[in-house]
Amino acid sequence: MKRKNVALLTAGVVLALAGTAQAESTFVNGTGTLTTTARVDFQVTIPKFLSLRVGSASTTIDLVDFSVTATDVGSGTDVAGTGGDLGAGTVTARVTGNNGDVTLNATTLGALVNAAGDTIPWTQIGTTSSAAGLPAPTLANGTSGDVTVPGNLAGGRVVNQAAVWTYTYLNDGIVPAGTYGGVNAQNGRVTYTATML
């Protein structure tokens, strides 16, 4: 039993000494001014990340609603929306990433449709952006073309762009009565996708 304890104690001392041998330390002695140094290396690992926000910061999916008056149907006068996280048909848009430019597009399942099967093309929903650094994709029946969100920090390697996007119904044609789109209904949902290489 004693032999086992001595062996464990010896192993512990060897491990302790091995650990101290790996750390840098220096020792000087003598008279007069003494100087010694010790060094430590550091490393920071940052993961690649990408974040996209359109609307509320939570998991809420915002609804933007347009109500056209009977006298304005097809007049060509833009109709402002209601809803969105900022109200009045406006939403917060933000793209953040740390590996260079980001491409952004928007996808729909097809034209907005009502219960009777009538349609309004997504090109009738206009989007304006408050900031050139975060342009809004032009909505389409299907997938839009890509827009580039440029890197604006750290020599272009970091993207941190924010804007307010405002949606309007362009109201360019007379269409049959009905409610087109809705909360994840009748092709009423747009999915924005950000991509960073």
Task: Say how many Å lie between the first and final Cα of the chain, rounded.
Answer: 63
The residue to which tokens 């440029």 are assigned: 150
Confidence band, pLDDT 50/70/90 cuts, at residue 24? confident
Q: Is residue 103 a part of any domain in this protein?
A: yes
Distance CA 192, CA 174 (A): 28
| Interval 138-161 mean pLDDT | 97
Q: Is residue 40 a part of any domain in this protein?
A: no
Cβ contact 106:190 at 8 Å: yes
DSSP run (H or E) holding 156:
none
Q: Which pLDDT score is estimated for 13?
A: 42
CA distances from 183 to 99, 112, 113, 173 (A): 34, 12, 12, 24
Closest CA to 118 of 161, 65, 66, 181: 181
pLDDT at position 147 over 70: yes
Q: Which pLDDT score is estimated for 23?
A: 64
Q: Which pLDDT score is estimated for 3?
A: 52
Cβ contact 174:73 at 8 Å: yes
Distance CA 131, CA 90 (A): 13
Q: Is residue 11 a part of any domain in this protein?
A: no
Distance CA 81, CA 169 (A): 7
Cβ contact 189:108 at 8 Å: yes
Give me the domain span that covers residue 103: 50-196
pLDDT at position 5 over 70: no
Q: Is residue 8 a part of any domain in this protein?
A: no
pLDDT in tens, 46-105: 999 999 999 999 999 999 999 999 999 999 999 999 999 999 999 999 999 999 999 999
The residue to which tokens 């969100």 are assigned: 149
Q: Which pLDDT score is estimated for 15?
A: 43
In the chain, how many domains are there? 1
Q: Is residue 165 a part of any domain in this protein?
A: yes
% of the chain exceeding 70 in pLDDT: 88
Q: Is residue 37 a part of any domain in this protein?
A: no
Check which CATH number belongs to the domain holding 189 and give it.
2.60.40
% of the chain exceeding 90 in pLDDT: 85
**Can you give the pTM of this predicted structure?**
0.84
Mean pLDDT for the chain overall: 91
pLDDT at position 18 over 50: no
- Chain centroid to Cα 47, Å, comes to 15
